Structure formats: structure tokens, C-alpha cells
Amino acid sequence: MAELSGKYLVGVYDDDDTVLHAVPTLRKAGVKIQEVYSPFPIHGMDDALGHPRTRIGIAAFIFGVTGCCVALTLMIWTMGIDWPMIVGGKDSISLPNYIPITFELTVLFTAFGMVTTFFISNGLTPGAHNHERFDVRATDNKFVMAINLGRNSMSEDEISRALRDSGAEEVNIKQF
């Protein structure tokens, strides 16, 4: 939740289906929705809101390739170049024996790299913005829609009415 400032209209829904179908209705009516907060993932919500597809998979792939290269470089250099050793009559560089560790380090780098990227891209840090949220019930049983009034050309009343019509059970005003 980045750069929160201004006046918001907060629509509170009590059902995930309702909020999921409210989003396209409201967007068609010309309301610019900032974000929807929910206690669990609602499939299709990011498409409905028009969020671009996440590129975190690309990051994961790059981390994986890095892990793979690190593992192979480490083993080929230590076993083959820095201190060549013949074990069990095999070549000092014997790729089949390097497969398990290459796999493990690829997984390790991918997992940690991807999760770190996830934390950074969502601004998840210990104790971050614990206080500035629209409605605390969004982690319990409510589905919360935030609309930044400053970025909408429609009036507060119009949006409020549209929210109610789309099934919101409460419409609150939140000022940051």
C-alpha cells in the first residue's frame, strides 16, 4: 500500500462474489477504483481491476539461472581447477555428480530471490504500515474497496450511490 494521501471513499462488501461483480460495473460507470482488499484471494480480481499481470515469474527465472550458474561454477572451479582430485576413478570434473547440488542451489536461489522480490515489490517489511489501513475487517470477513476521490472526476455522492447500488453494505470516508 504505497503513497496513501487524500480523501477516500471506502465501500465495504460482505461477499466476495458481490465485490467481484461490483468492480466491472463500477468501472463501466466511470469510477476509478484504487484497490480492493480481501481476507483471501479472489480469483479474477486483478483482471477485473485492470492490474497488469505480475512479472515476478521473470525475476524467479533469473534467480534460478543465477543459482544454477553459481553451483556449477563453484563445483567445476573447486573440483576441477583449484584442487583437481580424482575420486573413485572419475574425472575431476564429472558433471553427473554435480546434478544434485546444482538442482538444490537452483531451487534455493529461486525461492529466496523470488520471495525477497515479493516482499520488496509489495512493501512488506517488519512492522510496515500497520496503522494506515482502510478497514481492519478486511483481514477478517469483509471485502473493502478503496476509491481515491482526488483521482475521480465524479462527485462523492455519485460514487457513494454507485457503491451502494453495486451491493456495498457500508460506505465510509477515510482521510489520510
Partner 1 sequence: MHVTSPVREPLIQGGKTYADVTEDICRHVEGKPTKEWKIAFGISLVVLAYGTCCLAWTWWEGLGVWGLNKTVGWAWDITNFVWWVGIGHAGTLISAILLLFRQKWRTSINRAAEAMTIFAVICAASFILMHMGRPWMAYWALPLPNAFGSLWVNFNSPLVWDVFAISTYFSVSLVFWYIGLIPDLATIRDRATSKVSRFMYGTFALGWDGSAKTWSRYEYISLILAGLSTPLVLSVHTIVSMDFATSVIPGWHTTIFPPYFVAGAIFSGFAMVQNLMLITRVVYKLEDYITLEHIETMNKVITLTGSVVGVAYITEFFIAWYSGVEYESYAFINRATGPYWWAYWAMMTCNVISPQLFWSRKLRRSITFTFFISVIVNIGMWFERFVIIVTSLHRDYIPSSWAMFSPTRYDIGDYIFSFGLFFTLFLLFSKYLPVVNMAEVKAVIRSTSAQLPKKIAGVAKVRQREAAAPLFNKDIE
Which residues ranging from 72 to 91 are in contact with partner 1 (CB under 8 A)? 74-75, 78-79, 82-83, 85, 87-88, 90
Burial class for 42, CB neighbours closer than 10 Å (0-12, 13-18, 19+): middle
Nearer to partner 1, 41 or 157 (CB): 41
Q: Which of 58, 65, 136, 173 binds partner 1 (CB under 8 A)?
A: 136
Q: Is 62 in the site for partner 1 (CB under 8 A)?
A: no
Q: Is 51 in the site for partner 1 (CB under 8 A)?
A: yes
Q: Is 3 in the site for partner 1 (CB under 8 A)?
A: no
Q: Which of 29, 32, 56, 169 binds partner 1 (CB under 8 A)?
A: 56
Q: Is 150 in the site for partner 1 (CB under 8 A)?
A: no
Q: Is 114 in the site for partner 1 (CB under 8 A)?
A: yes
Q: Is 45 in the site for partner 1 (CB under 8 A)?
A: yes
Q: Is 151 in the site for partner 1 (CB under 8 A)?
A: no
The string over 137-163, giving b where at least 16 C-beta atoms fall within 10 Å of a residue's C-beta and e elsewhere, is bbeeebbbbbbbbeebebeeeebbebb
Nearer to partner 1, 130 or 153 (CB): 130
Q: Is 112 in the site for partner 1 (CB under 8 A)?
A: yes
Nearer to partner 1, 20 or 159 (CB): 20
Q: Which of 16, 156, 158, 170 binds partner 1 (CB under 8 A)?
A: 16
Q: Is 176 in the site for partner 1 (CB under 8 A)?
A: no
